[in-house]
């Protein structure tokens, strides 16, 4: 087996709750040495206390998001803690944090504060709203971002209240974007010898995901709206249909799929019907077409439709969580993994979505709060037991 692609990359991560830990978990899966820096005064990351499934200093939520991370306790309120940070960044490649946009500079976690200690250092900050602008000092959470960026206005049935996506899409997308930003910064630092700040926000990430809808609006004045059954903004049929025992999503994203669907339904004449001939025609006549399709899909159970359409027309059953876990693709792609844990035994977790042909991802349970403080200070900085004991007495660790 080859070494993992990020072996040798050392990251000090000031992370909490969801978005930042998700980013660091992915980099840790791929070999980076991620050291989670936790505040000993408050007992570390608040995620350690999120139910359900909590024990003293740990939770299933915390483990799901902090796989592979080591834990170092560090108190930046005292001079000895701040000096220790300066020593640590001299032997690191990156400092990462997910705090409010105004806090990295205030806490000395930006390049302006740390670059003099290590010119190659990359300081990546993921925040709710970025380092500037009128909201920079506001906390940002997934639900708030989905509201502000317009996601909720686009989600749900036409007459229903605005709805949040059930998965934390803004948090996870922001985490992914920050991981990309950090890696881009590391590539530049290795090429030039100079690091710098990387500024990523949940709001910017979510706003970027509006993508073609913004272009429609700004160019044509076309305002996206919610259609029944989660239908696509312009492609018909591309939506959820009720079957005799559940729900099915069918997506005719290309003309060939529409023609194939007509054949599968035993309605080849619909493909040549001038009302339904093109994407634009089907959208214009959707009020006529959709009732015809709805009646057809009610005639069979979901599994029969999937068996008939799969490989011919893009489709999927609407799974619950149990159904998603049982999908054969999950096993084929090794997307469920068992991670040993001293309390829970084998934790069943979601695997890394990034695959390398010659190196399997690394999966280790997240460390207890502060568990790696002494080994890290000894191995990275060469500190002896007496010096470490003095740091404890000073409240730095």
Q: Is the peptide bond before 237 cis (omega within 30 degrees of 0)?
A: yes
Rounded Cα distance, 391 and 90, in Å: 18
State the number of CA atoms in the 13 A half-sphere of 237 facing the CB: 28
Rounded Cα distance, 373 and 10, in Å: 15
Rounded Cα distance, 46 and 38, in Å: 10
**CA angle, residues 128, 76, 173, in degrees to nearest 5:** 20
* Residue in the block written with tokens 């009732």: 291
Rounded Cα distance, 249 and 96, in Å: 39
Q: Annotated catalytic residue: which of 93, 110, 142, 171?
A: 171
**CA angle, residues 175, 41, 84, in degrees to nearest 5:** 75
What DSSP line would sit under 172-236, residue for residue?
A: HHHHHHHHHHHHHHHHHHHHHS--EEEEEEHHHHHHHTTHHHHHHHHHH-PPP---GGG--SS-S
Instruction: Quote the tokens at residue 204.
Output: 């910017």
Please report which residue ranges of 298-327 form alpha helices under DSSP H: 302-309, 321-326
| Alpha carbon 35 to chain centroid, angstroms | 19
Question: Is 171 annotated in the active site?
Answer: yes
Instruction: Quote the tokens at residue 370.
Output: 């502060």
Q: What is the set of active-site residues?
A: 171
């Amino acid at each position: 087996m080859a070494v993992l692609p990020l072996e040798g990359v050392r990251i000090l991560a000031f992370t909490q709750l969801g978005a930042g830990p998700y980013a660091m978990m992915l980099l840790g899966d791929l070999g980076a040495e991620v050291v989670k820096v936790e505040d000993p005064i408050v007992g570390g990351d608040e995620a350690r206390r999120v139910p359900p499934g909590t024990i003293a200093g740990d939770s299933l939520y915390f483990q799901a998001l902090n796989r592979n991370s080591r834990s170092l306790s560090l108190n930046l309120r005292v001079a000895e803690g701040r000096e220790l940070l300066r020593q640590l960044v001299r032997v690191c490649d990156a400092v990462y944090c997910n705090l409010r946009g105004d806090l990295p500079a205030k806490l000395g976690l930006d390049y302006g504060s740390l670059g003099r200690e290590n010119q190659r250092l990359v300081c990546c900050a993921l925040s709710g709203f970025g380092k500037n602008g009128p909201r920079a000092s506001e906390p940002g959470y997934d639900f708030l971002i989905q509201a502000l960026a317009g996601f909720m206005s686009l989600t749900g049935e036409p007459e229903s209240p605005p709805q949040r996506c059930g998965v934390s899409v803004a948090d996870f997308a922001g985490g992914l974007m920050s991981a990309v930003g950090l890696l881009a910064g590391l590539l530049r630092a290795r090429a030039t010898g100079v690091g710098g700040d990387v500024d990523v926000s949940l709001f910017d990430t979510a706003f970027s995901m509006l993508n073609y809808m913004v272009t429609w609006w700004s160019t044509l004045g076309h305002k996206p709206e919610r259609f029944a059954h989660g239908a696509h903004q312009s492609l018909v049929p591309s939506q959820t249909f009720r079957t005799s025992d559940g729900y099915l999503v069918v997506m005719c994203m290309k003309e060939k799929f529409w023609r194939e669907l007509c054949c599968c339904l035993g309605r080849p004449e619909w493909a040549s019907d001038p009302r339904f001939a093109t994407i634009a025609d089907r959208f214009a006549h959707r009020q006529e077409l959709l009732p015809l399709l709805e009646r057809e899909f009610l005639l069979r159970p979901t599994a029969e439709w999937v068996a008939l359409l799969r490989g011919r027309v893009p489709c999927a059953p609407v799974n619950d969580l149990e159904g998603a876990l049982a999908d054969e693709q999950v096993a084929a792609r090794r997307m469920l993994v068992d991670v040993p844990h001293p309390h829970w035994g084998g934790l069943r977790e979601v695997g890394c979505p990034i695959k390398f042909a010659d190196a399997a991802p690394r999966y280790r349970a997240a460390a207890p709060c502060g568990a790696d403080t002494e080994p890290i200070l000894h191995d990275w900085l060469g500190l002896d037991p007496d010096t470490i004991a003095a740091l404890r007495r000073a409240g730095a660790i």
